[in-house]
Structure 1
């Protein structure tokens, strides 16, 4: 299912029971693919999920002259960057679609070609997510940035030089930009206020395999010593902890029992603590984590999203559906993206009792306070959800709508589900494996 017009009809009220397997994290794999541009020899990436974001990045690499072929393992891709070349605007624009990944091509392309071009950027409708951080970073390295009606053109007439940088907020994307640019820049780069998510650390692992010299301090300071040459890498991607948390929430909301193969405890520590407070049960195994509903009433909780090692923003949307089943009042304070509660309108239409507020309903005021963003939610439960017609608004919100429909009484039609394929590999097949009652139409 790849078209945004795809829909799925779900007959809810049936527990999801069974086992599904995870591949690599969307938030790591696509960046690792871009990193292959930096190598002088081919790179091999394993556990690559079959999702639309991966196909977009593969297309962008190919129009820039990278030869991409599938390896012997399922989910293995091989990237040969020996013939990297400039791409035509029309080709870049055609492959980029609504993805925001092209901005991360800039540093590697400036190193390889001395120039880069990106079209207007899209992405999920969850907030502004400006690219100013990225452009400021590239300017600090010496890039000349020219904004055009059709996009942004960059050049590096004097090459890229190391820089001292400090982010006003630990942005994952801006940290990735610094890493992908600094490893080949002349001199030393120091980044303060860096993001340190597991996907960032795995990207650092990949770059180190390629020959980069990178140190990470405990105070969110990353130092990169630029090198003249990087080789290709061979790497197995970190599992997708966002998908793991989504299926865990689905087990809770549907009163089910799901074994998530490939999930690991370390990267889910904060989520597992909250899951246990809600009343969800889990078992840690060598090959994954089993999540299930306890068979007793769930507990309300207070959640405040934050950058790692806090509670991830991508975890709150699926869990909110489960919290509609909890006995009492739960509060979720969103501090990462300012517009992430648009998905609750559909839950309210299905019978949930949820109110969103502009005030900071958390332990402390956040950067969205007094800015008129609906960034706090109060969920009162337990409530019974009923079937409804729903249109998917964004990736995580869309999967949350699927969970709501699966847990609801009656029939729901969820449209625009092609968005979900951006980050959830073969989710239709996985629903079948778990015994969901549904039908699809294209």
Structure 2
């Protein structure tokens, strides 16, 4: 059942980040800071910036290409470290990678040369766990390291494993890895206890080539999930998204290559929108799509921000004095958990007491400590404040925050703990009086394409400086 073959060489592509073979990225973890930022606050952001392709879509689309031996081409691919990491994983499995231009990549995996992904990727991100389904279809077995990501919660994988077992996978859980085998996956009825994005993606990737029909109930329906479904459909899959969070997949025997442009990054859109309003500027985000950020736009307007829609994207600015609001994060179409951090900084400049209730991850407010040191007034609570009780009720997790404002922020030396907190710290530095130094920029640059260049293009007073030769051990890796 296992495919065999000699090692594959990767065709040379344009640019300087062509993946050169198996394990290309393995030696680069943990990642050192490429540089640190110094940011002078007080300048309003004005101008135009183009949104990149969505990191949380592109990385999953790359995994999906393992389902076929034929070439697949993705355009609008962000040139970020996270993409390079995933390409390194694929290269280790036997994928050939070629950059056709600055943001177009062609990948092909005619043969799986190794179904065991190196433990060097353990804890790097959550992508390896998604490779189980494609590898089971290609060679009947896989060994993948357990996932990691930002320190924002436990993010367990038991939902994934229960679903795969129901589809006929034999799973052996090791300390740092998961070994899976099958004589053939089959359709199953799977009901997720929570509409997990990762579990939904994993089951989709396993179901599209399974024998029979798979029904995923209580599935996630985020735009990135729909983007993955559209790509799989182009590859020949049969996937229906029905009412009440139900996804029905009729398995097909094989899939073929496809060409796809990923959706724009809705997290980046919200980040630049919040920064524009926080600095009392005006920013055009080219390529932003209203339907992907509709919930964010409603909350932005409630607190005093405003937006305009054009044929090119969305424009963001401040319409009136910022006032307090209450926000509860939730699964799509609710308020996205990754929009929470820039909103928190924005609310430090709003009049009154705002409440943010985080219902997706139980430990996502750790970054507020450094904001308080800058002069913010943010109090954390274990109670479900400002909304309905969530699954973290009475479990002693500080998953609600009260942000009182407006409070002037003062410059500080900041250490980024994770990807999304990274942009929040950049925002805080842009609002603060004085010049801030930001370390831990490796986290931010794993998920945001050319953040320094984009921020400079809209008036941010941001410079880079060499990082120290000796870096402290990072507290976590970015998701």
Q: Residue in 1 aligned with 2:141? A: 115
Matches within 5 A, 1:194-205: 194-205=219-230
Q: Is the 8 A contact 2:69 2:111 kept in 1?
A: no
Q: Deviations over 1:158-188 (max 9, x none)?
A: 2111111000000000000010000001111
2:45 maps to which of 1, 16, 27 = 16
SS of structure 1 residue aligned to 2:293: helix
Deviation at 1:289, TM superposition (A): 0.7
Q: Is the 8 A contact 1:16 1:254 kept in 2?
A: yes
Q: Is the 8 A contact 2:93 2:113 kept in 1?
A: yes
2:168 maps to which of 142, 147, 159 = 142
Give, in whole Å, the separation in 1 of the partners of 2:393 and 2:175.
34
- In the alignment, does 2:57 pair up with 1:28? yes
Give, in whole Å, the separation in 1 of the partners of 2:324 and 2:128.
40
SS of structure 2 residue aligned to 1:418: helix
Q: Residue in 1 aligned with 2:26? A: none
Q: Residue in 1 aligned with 2:452? A: 428
Q: Is the 8 A contact 1:56 1:96 kept in 2?
A: no
Q: Is the 8 A contact 1:241 1:267 kept in 2?
A: yes
Give, in whole Å, the separation in 1 of the partners of 2:279 and 2:369.
20
Q: Residue in 1 aligned with 2:110? A: 82
SS of structure 1 residue aligned to 2:48: strand
Deviation at 1:5, TM superposition (A): 6.8
Deviation at 1:134, TM superposition (A): 1.4
405-414 or 134-143, which moves further after superposition?
134-143
Give, in whole Å, the separation in 2 of the partners of 1:63 and 1:96.
14
Give, in whole Å, the separation in 2 of the partners of 1:167 and 1:297.
43
Q: Deviations over 1:268-325 (max 9, x none)?
A: 111111111111121111111111123x411211101110011111111101111111
SS of structure 1 residue aligned to 2:269: helix
Q: Is the 8 A contact 2:115 2:141 kept in 1?
A: no
Q: Residue in 1 aligned with 2:88? A: 59
Q: Is the 8 A contact 1:350 1:388 kept in 2?
A: yes
Give, in whole Å, the separation in 2 of the partners of 1:51 and 1:153.
29
Q: Residue in 1 aligned with 2:461? A: 437
The 1:67/1:96 distance shift into structure 2, 3 A limit, reads: farther
Give, in whole Å, the separation in 2 of the partners of 1:81 and 1:151.
23
Give, in whole Å, the separation in 2 of the partners of 1:120 and 1:273.
37
Give, in whole Å, the separation in 2 of the partners of 1:258 and 1:247.
7
Give, in whole Å, the separation in 1 of the partners of 2:114 and 2:165.
20
Q: Residue in 1 aligned with 2:474? A: none
SS of structure 1 residue aligned to 2:308: strand
Deviation at 1:85, TM superposition (A): 2.1
Deviation at 1:415, TM superposition (A): 0.6
Q: Residue in 1 aligned with 2:434? A: 410
Deviation at 1:438, TM superposition (A): 2.4
1:382 maps to which of 402, 406, 419 = 406
SS of structure 1 residue aligned to 2:214: strand
Deviation at 1:96, TM superposition (A): 6.0
Aligned length: 437
- In the alignment, does 2:175 pair up with 1:171? no
Q: Residue in 2 aligned with 1:347? A: 371
- In the alignment, does 2:183 pair up with 1:154? no
1:260 maps to which of 285, 298, 301 = 285
Deviation at 1:348, TM superposition (A): 0.5
What is the TM-score when the length of structure 1 is the normalising length?
0.96
Q: Deviations over 1:62-110 (max 9, x none)?
A: 11111110124x3111111112221555xx3335661111000110011
Give, in whole Å, the separation in 2 of the partners of 1:422 and 1:14.
26
Give the CA RMSD over aligned residues: 1.5
SS of structure 2 residue aligned to 1:71: strand
Q: Which runs of 5+ in 2 are unaligned?
A: 1-30, 468-479
Give, in whole Å, the separation in 2 of the partners of 1:20 and 1:161.
46
